[in-house]
Amino acid sequence: MSGNEQRYINEAFESNYIAPVGPQVELFEKEFAVKTGISYAVALSSGTAAMHLALCELGVVAGDEVFASTLTFIGSVSPVTFLGAIPVFFDADYKTWNMDPGLLAKEINACAERGRLPKAVIPTDLYGQCADLDRILEICTPYEIPVIVDAAEALGATYKGRGAGVGARAAVFSFNGNKIITTSGGGMLASEDKEFIAQARFLSQQARDAAPHFEHSQIGFNYRMSNILAAIGRGQLHVLDERVRVKRQVFTKYKAALQDIDGIEFMPEAPFGKSNRWLTVILISPEQFGTDQEKVRVALEAENIEARPL
C-alpha cells in the first residue's frame, strides 16, 4: 500500500456506503478510465468476473469456440467453460511469449473455409507484455470477430504508445493481491463502447430491472466491486507508474547479474511496447545451464525467494 488508500477508505466510511455500490466505485471507474485511456469501465469483484461478463455480452453459448493463448492463467479461459463454450489454445510467439498472430491467421482462414468462426479471440498480455494487438485486430476485424484482451497482468504497460487493452472490443484487468496494483481482490472491464459497459454494470448487479420492487427479467450476477475496495484501488492508481518503474528496475537488476550465464534467456521485450515487467521471467536450457528449473526453484526456496515454473 502507498499510504493514500487509508484516506479514501475513510471517505468511504464517512459516506457510510459499505456496499458494492457508492461514490468510491464510481470515482475509481472514472479515474481508471482516464489512467488507461479506455473511455468506459466497470469495477467488479475479479478479473475472472470481468471476462465472464464480456463473454456473456458477446453472446457466447454452449458449443461455441473461443480462441485463447495457451500461455496464460486459468482466469482467462475458465469463463469460457462457465458458458459451456470450448476454449481453443494458440501457441506463443517466441519474440513476445504471447499469442502467435501467424498461427491465428492460419486458423481463422481455415475456420472461414469450414464456415465456422470463433465467437471471440482472447489474447493475453502475458507477465505485463502486450500481445501484438494491431496484428490480431487485422486478422479478426474482416470477419467481425470480437477481440477481448486479457490485460489482467498488464496494467501500466504500453503498446505502440497506448495503454494495454486500448483498441480491443473490451479489456479485462485484475486487482488480485499479486497484481501490480491491488484492491485485495477485484477486476475491471473496460471498453470504448458505452453501452457494452452499461450492460455489464447491469448484469453485475443481479440484472435488476428499473422498478421500485425487485424484478429481474433476465439472469445476472453478483459481481460488483465493494465501495471499500474501490477506495483502495483509487489510492493504488496514484502509485501505478512508480510500481512499473520499480518492477522494471527489478528486471534490470536480475538481467545485469545473470545475462552472461549460458543457458539463461530473459523474457524479451517486443519493440512495439513497454512491458510493466510484472514478473521477471527467465527461460532455462538445462543442457547449457547445467541444471534444470526445478532445482533452481528449490534452491531459491531455501533462500526464501519465491519462484515457480511457468
Which residues contact ligand PLP by CB under 6 A?
A: 46-48, 72-73, 75-76, 124, 150, 152-153, 174, 176, 187
For residues 252, 258, 260, 261, the Cα torsion angle rounded to the nearest 10 degrees is: -160
Give the C-alpha distances (Å, rounded to integers) separating 122 from 42, 51, 132, 169, 230. 19, 9, 12, 10, 26
Residue (118 or 123) nearer to ligand PLP, CB: 123
Residue (251 or 278) nearer to ligand PLP, CB: 278
User: In a 3-state reduction of DSSP, which class is residue 82?
Assistant: helix
Least distance (Å) between residue 281 CB and ligand PLP? 13
- DSSP letter at 235 equals H
Give the C-alpha distances (Å, rounded to integers) separating 114 from 121, 136, 239, 266, 277. 17, 20, 49, 39, 40
Pull the grid cell for residue 159.
503498446
Least distance (Å) between residue 73 CB and ligand PLP? 4
Least distance (Å) between residue 155 CB and ligand PLP? 11
Residue (176 or 276) nearer to ligand PLP, CB: 176
Least distance (Å) between residue 215 CB and ligand PLP? 30
Residue (190 or 210) nearer to ligand PLP, CB: 190
Q: Are strands 158-159 and 120-122 parallel, antiparallel or unpaired?
A: unpaired
Residue 176: other Cβ atoms inside 10 A? 18
Least distance (Å) between residue 171 CB and ligand PLP? 11
Residue (5 or 150) nearer to ligand PLP, CB: 150
